[in-house]
């Protein structure tokens, strides 16, 4: 293990951007596991658009400005954040690193940012809550059986969770063709090709072996059953009949901060406010759900116009650099969530890799603020962004 740890440290030293961490993750993970984190739905056009939108939006510099007193810190839902970034919910994280949820939770707490526990997490909620030092939020899919949903949020409440994020873009989980092709089954199943793939990635194999295949920690899984992909397993859990009435029902059940994740239509801002929600995550699930969906950055200004600062707006899907964060804040977001970026770090070096990814974001955001001419990240306005054709 000491040799493996040394290799991880070497890979981290060579990673200076989230793209570098992605390359390192690709070398570390078996193909089927890398494709699970890296891939999107169907043609992956939405996934590409998410990046293209960040490329199309460019920053203006107001230099010269005195930027010697700048800070990336911000406040969200009464919580202090070292930067306007939250590690978003990502299920099945133990595929990337043993007890991956705990590593994500610890790294987020150390960096002073929240971590959202996925409903598809592999560890027990109690263990993740401990690892996060009480800073974690919980993401929820409303289950077929509302009693199961009530059980989970009751447990979260008892453990001191204050923020719940309900995901609504997953009536059916997206068709992720890479997972179907690779046979990324739940639990893992083995063919000669998959065994050969794992043998080509001995670091991942040696770490994973003692822990066995990841199992859902917060969702029931019938013994002896298997599913063709993670999406298929998720399909068996989620109620596709969810509407605003159910979201209002959830509001009545949860006294803390309640956020709806997965809106893409600015027309949904009023229903969210009307239902008593405290925040919105504008998200296309990183291009993993509706292929052909708009990129989130492109609809952010319309959300900001509809929200008129009455409800905090979070945005995810495609955030890979500190300048991406600044662009999103300038166009009206209060903070960003990231999914794959920190998972690339997790895959490369566990908790240290997640911390490394967060460090890259913070360094790049600080640099962008200095060069654009900002001391406070919340002072970014649309005036610092130009859209190119």
Binding residues for ligand FMN, per CB under 6 A? 36-37, 50, 88-91, 118-120, 139, 167, 261, 283, 285-286, 288, 316-319, 338-341, 343
| 317 assigned ligand-binding residue | yes
Q: What minimum distance in Å lies between the beta carbon of 340 and ligand FMN?
A: 3
Rounded Cα distance, 140 and 116, in Å: 10
Buried b (16+ CB within 10 A) or exposed e, 161-185: bbbbbbbbbbeebbebbbbeebebb
| 320 assigned ligand-binding residue | yes
CA 338 centroid distance within chain = 4
Residue 123 near residue 150, CB atoms below 8 Å:
no
> What are the φ/ψ torsions at residue 247 (nearest 5 degrees)?
-70, -35
By C-beta, is 36 or 161 nearer to ligand FMN?
A: 36
Residue 90 CB contacts under 8 Å (≥ 6 apart), including other chains: 37, 104, 118, 120, 339, 340, 343
By C-beta, is 119 or 123 nearer to ligand FMN?
A: 119
**Measuring CA to CA, which residue among 265, 187, 195, 263 is closest to residue 227?**
187
CA 97 centroid distance within chain = 16
By C-beta, is 70 or 139 nearer to ligand FMN?
A: 139
Q: What minimum distance in Å lies between the beta carbon of 367 and ligand FMN?
A: 20
| 139 assigned ligand-binding residue | yes
By C-beta, is 37 or 198 nearer to ligand FMN?
A: 37
Which of 201, 211, 285, 356 is catalytic? The answer is: 285
Q: What minimum distance in Å lies between the beta carbon of 36 and ligand FMN?
A: 6
| 91 assigned ligand-binding residue | yes
Q: What minimum distance in Å lies between the beta carbon of 234 and ligand FMN?
A: 7
By C-beta, is 268 or 317 nearer to ligand FMN?
A: 317
| 283 assigned ligand-binding residue | yes
Rounded Cα distance, 240 and 141, in Å: 10
DSSP of 191-208: -HHHHHHHHT-HHHHHHH
> What are the φ/ψ torsions at residue 39 (nearest 5 degrees)?
-85, 170
| 90 assigned ligand-binding residue | yes
| 9 assigned ligand-binding residue | no
Q: What minimum distance in Å lies between the beta carbon of 256 and ligand FMN?
A: 18
Using a 10 angstrom Cβ sphere, with 0-12 exposed, 13-18 middle and 19 or more buried, the burial of residue 353 is: buried
DSSP of 33-76: HHHHHH--STT-HHHHHHHHHHHHEEE----S---TT-B--EEE
By C-beta, is 197 or 316 nearer to ligand FMN?
A: 316
| 340 assigned ligand-binding residue | yes
Q: What minimum distance in Å lies between the beta carbon of 344 and ligand FMN?
A: 9
Q: What minimum distance in Å lies between the beta carbon of 373 and ligand FMN?
A: 27
Rounded Cα distance, 329 and 74, in Å: 11
| 207 assigned ligand-binding residue | no
By C-beta, is 7 or 20 nearer to ligand FMN?
A: 20
For the chain, report the end-to-end CA distance as a whole number of angstroms. 50
Tell me if residue 285 is catalytic: yes
Q: What SS3 state is found at 161?
A: coil
Rounded Cα distance, 106 and 319, in Å: 21
CA 343 centroid distance within chain = 9
Angle CA 358–277–112, to nearest 5: 20
Residue 179 CB contacts under 8 Å (≥ 6 apart), including other chains: 32, 35, 36, 39, 229, 230, 231
Task: List, as residue ranges, the binding site.
Answer: 36, 89-91, 118, 139, 141, 167, 176, 261, 283, 285, 288, 316-320, 339-340
Catalytic residue numbers, as ranges: 285
Which residues define the annotated binding site for FMN?
Answer: 89-91, 118, 139, 261, 283, 316-320, 339-340
């Amino acid at each position: 293990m000491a040799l493996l740890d040394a290799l991880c440290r070497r890979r981290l030293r060579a990673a200076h951007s989230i793209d570098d961490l992605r390359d390192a993750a690709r070398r570390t993970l078996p193909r089927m596991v890398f494709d699970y984190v890296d891939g999107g739905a169907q043609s992956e056009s939405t996934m590409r658009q998410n990046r293209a939108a960040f490329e199309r939006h460019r920053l203006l510099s107001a230099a010269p400005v005195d930027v010697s007193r700048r800070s990336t810190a911000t406040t969200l839902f009464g919580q202090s954040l070292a930067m306007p970034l939250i590690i978003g919910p990502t299920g099945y994280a133990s595929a990337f690193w043993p007890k991956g949820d705990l590593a994500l939770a610890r790294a987020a707490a150390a960096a002073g940012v929240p971590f959202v526990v996925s409903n598809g997490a592999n560890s027990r909620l109690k263990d993740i809550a401990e690892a996060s030092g009480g800073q974690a939020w919980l993401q929820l899919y409303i289950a077929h059986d509302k009693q199961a949903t009530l059980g989970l949020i009751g447990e979260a409440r008892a453990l001191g969770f204050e923020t719940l994020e309900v995901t609504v873009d997953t009536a059916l989980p997206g068709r992720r063709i890479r997972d179907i092709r690779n046979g990324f089954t739940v639990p893992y199943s083995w063919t000669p090709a998959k065994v050969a793939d794992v043998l080509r990635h001995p670091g991942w194999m040696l770490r994973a072996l003692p822990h066995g295949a990841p199992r859902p920690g917060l969702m029931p899984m019938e013994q002896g059953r298997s599913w063709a992909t993670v999406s298929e397993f998720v399909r068996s859990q989620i109620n596709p009949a969810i509407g605003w009435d159910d979201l209002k029902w959830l509001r009545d059940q949860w006294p803390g901060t309640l956020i709806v994740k997965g809106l893409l239509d600015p027309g949904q801002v009023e229903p969210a406010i009307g239902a008593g929600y405290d925040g919105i995550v504008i998200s296309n699930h990183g291009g993993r759900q509706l292929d052909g969906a708009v990129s989130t950055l492109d609809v952010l200004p319309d959300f900001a116009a509809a929200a008129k600062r009455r409800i905090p707006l979070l945005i995810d899907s495609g955030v890979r650099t500190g300048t991406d964060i600044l662009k999103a804040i300038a166009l009206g977001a209060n903070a960003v969530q990231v999914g794959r970026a920190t998972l690339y770090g997790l895959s490369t070096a566990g908790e240290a890799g997640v911390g490394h990814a967060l460090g890259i974001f913070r360094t790049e955001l600080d640099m962008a603020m200095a060069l654009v001419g900002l001391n406070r990240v919340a002072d970014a306005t649309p005036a610092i962004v130009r859209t190119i054709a």
